[in-house]
Structure 1
Amino acid sequence: MTWDTVKLEWSDDIATVTVDRPDALNALNVETLEALGEAVGEAGANDARVLVLRGAGDDAFIAGADIAYMKDLSTTEAQAWGELGHDVADAIERFPAPTVAVVDGYAFGGGCEMAMACDLRIGSESALIGNTEIDLGIIPGWGGTQRLPRLVGEETAKRMIFLGQRLDAETAAEEGLFGEVVPDDEIDDRAAELAAELAAKPPFALRAAKDAIAQGYSDVSGLDYEKRTFGSLFGTPDQREGMEAFVENREPEFQ
């Protein structure tokens, strides 16, 4: 399959999925999110030994979801949008082989959530990452409320979600959100090196290890609650003001 805004490329048994909307900082609209899910599924169906997720260009991994699309969604439409994002993030998390997010540039909101769904994360020195949804009048809706505390601890996760904090690469590594940070001009080589190292490991044992680790956080009730709550916030004064302010490039004024 081919898509307009997502690329799936192969190097031996390593599949690289690239979100390819650099003019929009690789923001996820419906078409791109659906294509991302299909590309991940195709990589799995073709027995990829490693899945690498990245964004096109030098400015962003995935800057987030498409706010211009989101701002006028009804509660029902927002529920469906949240379900779609969850489906894609879950597909990445449950991918039958190791997954690596190559975070070069911005990774906010839904972009942060897609990175957190991966097993490992590499950050470039210029990377910025965060669940910034609070200033849009909503909460993380694609798994962030559940995956972020697992990675950075409850206190840091609450500060990031409540305050919309954006972490630079060094801080993200210190907090456990990045496994390593490399210079911007070395991130491609390091990603290829790590993917090759993973692909050389025994695949059945890797999958068993990944499944065993996942047993420690397999309760889906928190993810289900997040999906319902995310959709319910659409149509509130907070959501309307937050997203209108974002689209109009001004500071929101919450009442």
Structure 2
Amino acid sequence: MEFLRVRQEEAVGIIELYRPKVLNALNIPLMGELVSELERMERDDTIRAIVLTGNERAFAAGADIQEMAEEDAISMLVKDQFAQWDRMNQITKPIIAAVSGYVLGGGCELMMHCDLIVASETTQIGQPEINLGVMPGAGGTQRLTKLIGKIRAMEMLLTGEPISATEALHFGLVNRVVPVEFYLSEAIDLAHNIAAKPPVAARMIKKSVQIAQDTTLAEGLSYERNAFYLLFASADQKEGMKAFMEKRPADFKGK
């Protein structure tokens, strides 16, 4: 892979975006590599949680503008670059974003595709597309509004001004803010915590929360209830409840 650095720590897969000379700008080849690697980790039973990160200076400073500057409406339509992003929505394993520095435009949209977010104190999060005469196209107007509400999203989207990590925490856009030297280790620790949980239940929880964002309360409650019942067919449910009654740690197998 040209634009990623990948490693595995026990049951945690770690993906680092690697275009440091351009602040990890998201071009089509990088996104292709990223989605393919996420799908590989999805198939790997030894991986139960995924950490996605960049570097201290930038998680991702946006889309690669040079790649798009001379495009027209028809070429963008035919290219359909956001089809790669749609594939990310099919990943069922929990993804934890570890972000620092610039998290702008496509970088913010990529962060919001993740399930939990650990940010360094230096993080600046924004959707500055309006300054380029365009608007977000990978979910920026939709996910940001659902996560922080219309009024705050409007300000970020219409001014293009970024918010700080502290503001993002206050708005509910990130889970934790830590010193820059600890943001990645904190995210990896969080991933290990989740990886120790029953993976089938974790997948169903993730899907249930996604449905809660995308559908009605009645539809979400119906899915949740059926998923709850279905988990009683798993070996992990038997092990988890038996371990609880025997007052010992559970050994979840993902079955």
Q: What TM-score bracket applies, with the shorter chain setting the length?
A: 0.7 to 0.9
Separation in structure 2 between the aligned mates of residue 93 and residue 165 of structure 1, nearest angstrom: 27
- 1:209 deviates by 1.0
Identity %: 35
Separation in structure 2 between the aligned mates of residue 27 and residue 13 of structure 1, nearest angstrom: 28
Larger relative contact order, structure 1 or 2 (CA cutoff 8 Å, min sep 6): 1
What residue identity is the alignment partner of 1:77?
S
8 Å Cα contact 2:32-2:84 kept in structure 1: no
For 1:23-79, what per-residue CA distance to the aligned partner results, in whole angstroms no more than 9, with x for missing partners?
A: 110001121111111111111121331111111x32100111001111111112223
Separation in structure 1 between the aligned mates of residue 2 and residue 186 of structure 2, nearest angstrom: 27
Change (3 A) 1:68 1:19: same
1:216 matched residue in structure 2: 212
Separation in structure 1 between the aligned mates of residue 78 and residue 14 of structure 2, nearest angstrom: 27
1:19 matched residue in structure 2: 17
For 1:1-22, what per-residue CA distance to the aligned partner results, in whole angstroms no more than 9, with x for missing partners?
A: xx11112221122111111011
TM-score by length of 1: 0.80
8 Å Cα contact 1:62-1:110 kept in structure 2: yes
Q: Does 1:133 align with 2:132?
A: no
1:122 matched residue in structure 2: 118
Separation in structure 2 between the aligned mates of residue 91 and residue 202 of structure 1, nearest angstrom: 24
2:144 matched residue in structure 1: 148
Separation in structure 1 between the aligned mates of residue 191 and residue 83 of structure 2, nearest angstrom: 25
Change (3 A) 1:153 1:86: farther
Q: Does 1:189 align with 2:189?
A: no
Q: How does 1:1-255 map to 2 (within 5 A)?
A: 3-47=1-45, 48-55=47-54, 57-80=55-78, 83-88=80-85, 90-218=86-214
CA RMSD of superposed structures (Å): 1.4
What residue identity is the alignment partner of 1:63?
A
